[in-house]
Structures are given as C-alpha cells and as structure tokens.
Amino acid sequence: MTFDHPEFDHHVRITFFFDPETQLSLINAQHRLVGGRCAGGIRFRSYPSHSDACGDALRLSRAMTRKFALANLPMGGGKTVVIGEPLQLKNPALLRSLGAFVNSFDGQYLGGPDVGMNAADMQVIGEVTPYVGGRASDTSAPTAVGTFKAIQATAHFLFGPGSLAGKSVAVQGVGAVGRRLCVLLKAVGARIVVADVDPVAAAAVAGEVDAEIAPVDEILRCNVDILAPCALGGILNSGTIAQLRARAVCGCANNQLATAGDGRRLHERGIPFVPDFIASAGGVIGGALEVGLIDQVGYEQRLDRIYTTTLEVLNQARARGLSPNEIAESLADGASVAPPRV
C-alpha cells in the first residue's frame, strides 16, 4: 500500500492516473497545501518499477514543501512524475492530456518543467490549463544563480569571507543548470572540473569555461573543495560517501541523499552538505515571479537569501553537532506549519 511506502509522509493527496488513448501514466503527490495550493515540477522519465516512481513523487513533493518554506513562498509541495521514456512517448496529444489532468485540480496543484520537460512542453500543456509555469522560459538561470550563491556561502563557511577565486569545484552534470553554474564559477575565478553522461556536452562546457573533464564514474571522487551534484538524485549513499574527497557538497540535483541516514554519514565524515532544497530554490523563486506570486524586488531578495540561509544552516549544524540536513529540515518543517509571508 502507498500508506506503507517508506517515503510516505502523511501526504494530503496521491493520485495515480492513466490515459489509455495517449498512454499517459503518471503519479501526482501533494505533500502539503498552503493557502489551499501546492506546486512542484513535472518529471518525465523511466523508472525500474511503479514503486520507484511513487517513491520519487513522494520524496520530491516533500522536498518541495521544504524548499518553498525556506524560500518564504506561500505554497505547499507537490510533484508529478510521468512514467516512461520521453523520447518515445512525448507528443502533443499526451501533453494535452497531462494538461487536462493538471487542470482537474482547479488550481490546487501548479506544475512546471523538471527532468524530461522543457518550456516548449509547458506551452503545449498551457493550451489546456493555466496552472503551469515555465512557459515563457525555463528556470535554469535562477536555479543556477541560487546554486552559485549557496556555493559562495559554503566557501565562506569553509574558508571565511572572500572570493571563490582559486577554489576548486567539481560539477557533476552540465545540462542547462550545470552549464550556467560553470559560467558563473568561471567569472569569479574558480577552478572547475566537469563530468556528464553526454561526452559532447562535457567537452563543450569544458571548452567554454576552461574546465578539466573527469570521467563520469570518477567525478564523485575528485579531490576538490566543493562537489556540486547537478544531475539526478540518489548519488550520495553509503558507498559513494565513503569515497568522497571533496571538503563540502553543494549542488542543485534533487534528492541527492539516497536515504535519510546519508546526511548523518556525511556529517560523521566531516563533510558539510547543503541540502538541495536550499541550493536549488532559485528555480521555484523564478517560477513564483513568472506567475505573479512575487515581484522583482521579492525575487531578488529571495535569491540573495539563499546565501544567508546556507550559511545559517551550516553554522547552526557546527554549533549544535548536528548534520546540516537535520537543521534545514527542522527549520523548513517549522516554517511550513503556517503560510509564509509574501
């Protein structure tokens, strides 16, 4: 049963949906409602099993609640996972069916682009429902800016106030966000190592920012100041954590910890970890600006706040002898009890 799933956290609503005409198969998880609403990206990818897909939806929606809370945005967390290979299944008819599904919640759930989806897809979905963001442009730019600010704060925590110049950062995944992050890191003189499952993409970004290229299976073992996971989640587990050589971990990939105990494992190894629901909050902040929840001033203030929140969490963790993940979850879960200030 879903209620027995290890990732179930008293979610307010979980919906399984299948459209036989388009073969659209999805799970929508709504973790919390704030002001009667929740939001989260629409992810389109293959899963080993429906249980894995359900776990992803449950875990990601909970992370979205925490992300909105710490970003001071009036929204609960939700998530949609579309099950299947997007290159084989994605077409306008399926996207419109997806839009009709989103529309059926009448604004209780707001969607946006995630893995396997883009702004063009949101435009097709937007033909059927107004309850999607990310149509005008993708959110990779604000996500990269927010991640960059979190990395700056992590460097501040490690080395004291100052620039990232000369500090080394290993970026795992150079898609839209990872590439933009590398450009920002290059601008302040950081030394960059990149890796990607697409060797052509890795080579292109490395050439653009004068970065070293590491093999995909070695990037997590790079001897660098900061490791920035910017691909898929679940990469920090008992095996990989034991091999880490980075002094800290701070990246934008969702759900980087394979299990709840992996945050403690990082702490026991003395490796500060910035929870992804802090580092990647720039995307939802950009989405909130697009749909009119905040204005430009609020947008910029919230992006800047990522630096402050990161440093606050890392300092509290050190002072209290807890993992940063424990501190951040406590702060977020406390903040999500009542609607945040706009």
Are 26 and 94 in contact by the 8 Å Cβ rule? The answer is no
Residue 286 lies in a domain: yes
Please give the structure tokens belonging to residue 5: 């799933």
**What is the domain extent for residue 81?**
2-67+76-125
The confidence band for 337, taking pLDDT boundaries of 50, 70 and 90, is very low
132-190 pLDDT, tens digit per residue, is 988 766 688 999 999 999 999 999 999 999 889 999 999 999 999 999 999 999 999 99
The CATH number of whichever domain residue 62 belongs to comes to 3.40.50.10860
User: Residues 184, 281: one domain?
Assistant: yes
Residue 210 lies in a domain: yes
pTM of the model: 0.87
9-58 pLDDT, tens digit per residue, is 899 999 999 999 999 999 999 999 999 999 999 999 999 999 999 999 99
The confidence band for 66, taking pLDDT boundaries of 50, 70 and 90, is very high
Residue 341 lies in a domain: no
Q: Which helix (H) or strand (E) holds 299?
A: helix 296-320
The CATH number of whichever domain residue 149 belongs to comes to 3.40.50.720
pLDDT at 340 (0 to 100): 38
pLDDT at 136 (0 to 100): 67
User: Residues 91, 147: one domain?
Assistant: no
Q: What angle do CA 234, 83, 173 make, to 5 degrees?
A: 40
Residue 104 amino acid letter? S
Are 336 and 32 in contact by the 8 Å Cβ rule? The answer is yes
Q: Order of strands across the sheet with 109-113? A: 13-19, 24-30, 76-83, 38-45, 109-113
Q: What is the mean pLDDT of the chain?
A: 93
Q: How far apart are the first and last CA of the chain?
A: 37
Residues involved in catalysis: 79
262-310 pLDDT, tens digit per residue, is 999 999 999 999 999 999 999 999 888 887 889 999 999 999 999 999 9
Residue 13 lies in a domain: yes
200-234 pLDDT, tens digit per residue, is 999 999 999 999 999 999 999 999 999 999 997 88
User: Last residue of some domain: 92, 125, 158?
Assistant: 125
